[in-house]
Structure 1
Amino acid sequence: MSDTASAGAGSPGYRVWALSGIPEVQPGDDLAKLIAATEPGLADGDVLIVTSKIVSKAEGRIVRAADREAAIDAETVRVVARRGPLRIVENRQGLVMAAAGVDASNTPAGTVLLLPEDPDASARAIRAGLRAALGVDVGVVVSDTFGRPWRAGLTDVAIGAAGVRVLDDLRGGADAHGNPLSATVVATADELAAAGDLVKGKAAGLPVAVVRGLPHAVADEHGDGARALVRGARDDMFRLGTSEAVREAVTQRRTVRAFTDEPVDPGAVRRAVAAAVTAPAPHHTTPWRFVLLESEESRVRLLDAMRDAWIEDLRRDGKGEESIAKRIRRGDVLRNAPYLVVPCLVMDGSHAYGDARRDAAEREMFVVAMGAGVQNLLVALAGERLGSAWVSSTMFCRDVVREVLGLPADWDPMGAVAVGHPAQEPRPRPAREPGAFVAVR
């Protein structure tokens, strides 16, 4: 038994102890009756911390699985990170944890335990059963063991709850010095789960603990449940592991052609440029230059001049005015973007061979490096939650672009990149089979 009340008369405190006498749980057992049979001496306002493993056993969440990995696959909704055989995944309950919570310990050989189907519902059932059996109104937390991304070691957290204030929202209040609390939301149910684990232990055969003396943690009704502790995808800044995030950034980079009016943070674009100039390049050169058009006046001036040059080209091609107007509308993706980047290629450090074949290959090397730099830029912009579209138009009127933007004669514009906040989510893109693009020799 842990008893923090000994700190002194009138001091805040609570008691936590483990219940002994709970037998090996079998499928179909009524956990509330098993707990009540231990004569736990429960009182209104107590909180029971119940290890999820016995909840799973009682609910028959034991499955035959010669291969634990296959069971993990079946319980996995999304892989967050892999390192060797270890997988951090989001499981069917929405929990992000190692191995989807599939447990091969304390269960017969050839079987594994899955987490409860609905841990909040499990907690509600135990709470209602104890009320019926003992006439007490208690809170219930179903706990499981988690690792944490920023801390070493394991601790128990709440995966199910009933009759407990799972979150204590202190925002809008003030600290002891009068400073406003604007971001403090305490995970009370997790703290209760960890307190119970101190006396239950991992291998002591004591699957239930009682916490007494924390009335602020108890809710009158069932409460929100532990599902409220799961951070939503939009607020999750660490949704992927490192290698997974890199792959996701590359594969999820999409061409965006419609933007909102929300301004673009120039700092975000400069961070993307910093990523762009890490691309590979020939002869230890730095062939990239990025012209950032941050004012509407500069964008309109450039796009108007490019439009006029395009119209002249189309008229020389013999196109009619209706055809010209239709083609010119293709430039709206640049005109409607709140921010433009004009990537430029410079050939400083290139080799001159004096024959057409090698000189052409030399330029191609630099053009490839330019493409790598722009790809880095686009991927980094996606990481900043900005959409982009790389449009080739400036390559067809380089002299006009250089004149309007006052660029050196040896800067070759290599298209333009429209940047902005996407107006909508891009449509799903069918996966491409890599084998169709591979030749093995």
Structure 2
Amino acid sequence: MTDAASSPPSYRVWALTGLPEVQPGDDLAKLIASTGPGLVDGDVLLVTSKVVSKAEGRVVAAADREAAIDAETVRVVARRGGLRIVENRQGLVMAAAGVDASNTPAGTVLLLPEDPDASAARIRAGLRDALDVEVGVVITDTFGRPWRSGLTDVAIGAAGVRVLDDLRGGEDRHGNALSATVVATADELAAAGDLVKGKTAGLPVAVVRGLGHLVTEADGGARALVRAAADDMFRLGTSEAVREAVTVRRTVREFTDEPVDPGAVRRAVAAAVTAPAPHHTTPWRFVLLESAESRARLLDVMRDAWVADLRRDGKSEESVAKRVRRGDVLRNAPYLVVPCLVMDGSHAYGDERRATAEREMFVVAAGAAVQNFLVALAGEQLGSAWVSSTMFCRDVVRGVLGLPDAWDPMGAVAVGRPAAPPKERAAREASAFVSVR
């Protein structure tokens, strides 16, 4: 605490001007020194990762940015539509693995520095040699944050800076013990610099003066800011994501015209085939109707078969028309999937009771797979409706789709973007469906 006569704590931050366009092979420390930055001991330089990547030749030709993201990804943490939050090679969890297609020539992308801490150390050493000053260096990049809107700069590399200020074991002004307070000082510095660098001003380097107590030789680099897996309560987010998907899953009967991403459907199929099944079998097949022609051909033939069945049952033409209209949910969807059951690997029994039970096991497995599929679609923000109509004309469906005789269509799933928010679902008290013995 300062006394009344002393100045209150303060710092100054400004952007450096005069830095030329950085090219592969450039010595960033020399470029910064050439601007006459007037650095003094205890200053902290905040350097945007893009210029570090350019200097280090991390500009790569990439006609497909997604392929570059794949190459830099260690694991996918979350996915929504085309956006992926991933852990990249540097251990950072961020959007698109940090692969950037802005501020770089068309047909190329920028990858993050291979080792941002080492990059920061080289810049720091270069400035010491060129200007005879002891400064800290922070390499920054832009992140979104869970639970918060908007972007901010954070530290992805650091040298000569106390990246974390561990206050645990101390006391606040009221004598309360600090048991969990660890301040991310390097991230705070990065955000302060971003206020003057900006995203479009072309000023990639900022200086902070007045926080010399954060400049130290005993730094561990920005890698220390990455939370260890054992301490990360939201590392996978699996249970939260599944609960959310189960909660929001609804039968959707009206869809927009927006095309469905085939990749999202295939990811849902990947979830579907993790369902349990008897005898270590894989009794599911998913027929994806991605063309309007294939959907129309199937639905036209099914409609004719359905009408013929209803008329044989003695239904009136009005009743027939009403029932056929129920199939409009399939006709109006931009994507259809026909899940099928195959009995490969099932056991043969001469006893009818056991044979029936055997088939029921496989049917239950098919239902589990379809449920997985619907929940995964909801996780992709896709609506769906599972309609049983193909089960009433399996031979017709097999014929028009060219399916093997052993494939039993188990309904059809309409898939698309919901045209309206789902209606509120009546509350269901779980205890009403539980019987305890």
- Report the TM-score range of the alignment, normalised by the length of the smaller protein: 0.5 to 0.7
Q: Is the 8 A contact 1:80 1:90 kept in 2?
A: yes
**Deviation sequence 1:126-175 (CA, Å, 0-9, x none):** 00000000000000000000000011000000000000000000000001
- TM-score normalised according to structure 2 size: 0.56
Among 60, 65, 68, which residue is 2:62 paired with?
A: 65
Among 216, 220, 231, which residue is 2:217 paired with?
A: 220
Q: For residues 407 and 109 of structure 2, what CA distance do their matches in structure 1 show? A: 43
Among 91, 94, 97, which residue is 1:97 paired with?
A: 94
Among 175, 199, 202, which residue is 1:202 paired with?
A: 199
SS in 2 for 1:191: helix
Q: For residues 100 and 27 of structure 1, what CA distance do their matches in structure 2 show? A: 21
Give the corresponding residue for 1:51: 48
Give the corresponding residue for 1:128: 125
Amino acid across the alignment from 1:236: D
SS in 1 for 2:7: coil
What are the ranges of 5 or more consecutive residues in structure 2 without an aligned counterpart? Answer: 243-267, 277-351, 369-405, 410-437
**Deviation sequence 1:273-296 (CA, Å, 0-9, x none):** xxxxxxxxxxxxxxxxxxxxxxxx
Give the corresponding residue for 2:225: 229
Q: Is the 8 A contact 1:82 1:241 kept in 2?
A: no
**Deviation sequence 1:248-303 (CA, Å, 0-9, x none):** 9999999xxxxxxxxxxxxxxxxxxxxxxxxxxxxxxxxxxxxxxxxxxxxxxxxx
Amino acid across the alignment from 1:230: V
Aligned pairs (5 A) from 1:48-197: 48-197=45-194
Q: Is the 8 A contact 1:51 1:144 kept in 2?
A: yes
Cα offset for 1:10? 0.7
Give the direction of change, closer, same or farther, for the CA distance of 1:178–1:105 in structure 2 (3 Å limit): same
Give the direction of change, closer, same or farther, for the CA distance of 1:35–1:439 in structure 2 (3 Å limit): farther
Q: For residues 242 and 17 of structure 1, what CA distance do their matches in structure 2 show? A: 42
**Matched-pair identity in %:** 81
Cα offset for 1:242? 5.3
Give the corresponding residue for 1:39: 36
Q: Is the 8 A contact 1:159 1:227 kept in 2?
A: yes
Q: For residues 184 and 172 of structure 2, what CA distance do their matches in structure 1 show? A: 18
Cα offset for 1:108? 0.2
Q: Is the 8 A contact 1:140 1:164 kept in 2?
A: yes
Cα offset for 1:217? 1.3
What are the ranges of 5 or more consecutive residues in structure 1 without an aligned counterpart? Answer: 1-7, 255-355, 373-437
**Deviation sequence 1:345-378 (CA, Å, 0-9, x none):** xxxxxxxxxxx97xx98xx89xx79xx9xxxxxx
Amino acid across the alignment from 2:58: R
Q: For residues 253 and 141 of structure 1, what CA distance do their matches in structure 2 show? A: 47
Q: For residues 71 and 160 of structure 1, what CA distance do their matches in structure 2 show? A: 21
Cα offset for 1:216? 2.3
Give the corresponding residue for 2:258: none
Give the corresponding residue for 1:338: none
Cα offset for 1:96? 0.2
Among 238, 245, 264, which residue is 2:234 paired with?
A: 238
**Deviation sequence 1:319-360 (CA, Å, 0-9, x none):** xxxxxxxxxxxxxxxxxxxxxxxxxxxxxxxxxxxxx97xx9
Amino acid across the alignment from 2:176: N
Give the direction of change, closer, same or farther, for the CA distance of 1:81–1:244 in structure 2 (3 Å limit): farther
Q: For residues 241 and 147 of structure 2, what CA distance do their matches in structure 1 show? A: 17
Q: For residues 271 and 229 of structure 2, what CA distance do their matches in structure 1 show? A: 16
Give the direction of change, closer, same or farther, for the CA distance of 1:103–1:249 in structure 2 (3 Å limit): same
Q: For residues 245 and 100 of structure 1, what CA distance do their matches in structure 2 show? A: 21
Give the direction of change, closer, same or farther, for the CA distance of 1:46–1:250 in structure 2 (3 Å limit): farther
1:12 lines up with 2:1 in the alignment: no
Amino acid across the alignment from 1:12: P
Q: For residues 168 and 243 of structure 1, what CA distance do their matches in structure 2 show? A: 32
Cα offset for 1:245? 5.0
Q: For residues 91 and 117 of structure 1, what CA distance do their matches in structure 2 show? A: 11
Cα offset for 1:233? 1.1
Give the direction of change, closer, same or farther, for the CA distance of 1:164–1:440 in structure 2 (3 Å limit): farther
Q: For residues 146 and 250 of structure 1, what CA distance do their matches in structure 2 show? A: 33
Give the number of aligned pairs. Answer: 263
Q: For residues 10 and 239 of structure 2, what CA distance do their matches in structure 1 show? A: 45
Give the direction of change, closer, same or farther, for the CA distance of 1:190–1:11 in structure 2 (3 Å limit): same
Q: Is the 8 A contact 1:45 1:212 kept in 2?
A: yes
**Deviation sequence 1:80-137 (CA, Å, 0-9, x none):** 0000000000000000000000000000000000000000000000000000000000
Cα offset for 1:240? 2.4
Q: For residues 253 and 164 of structure 1, what CA distance do their matches in structure 2 show? A: 50
Q: For residues 8 and 122 of structure 2, what CA distance do their matches in structure 1 show? A: 34
Cα offset for 1:220? 2.7
Q: For residues 170 and 163 of structure 1, what CA distance do their matches in structure 2 show? A: 19
- TM-score normalised according to structure 1 size: 0.55
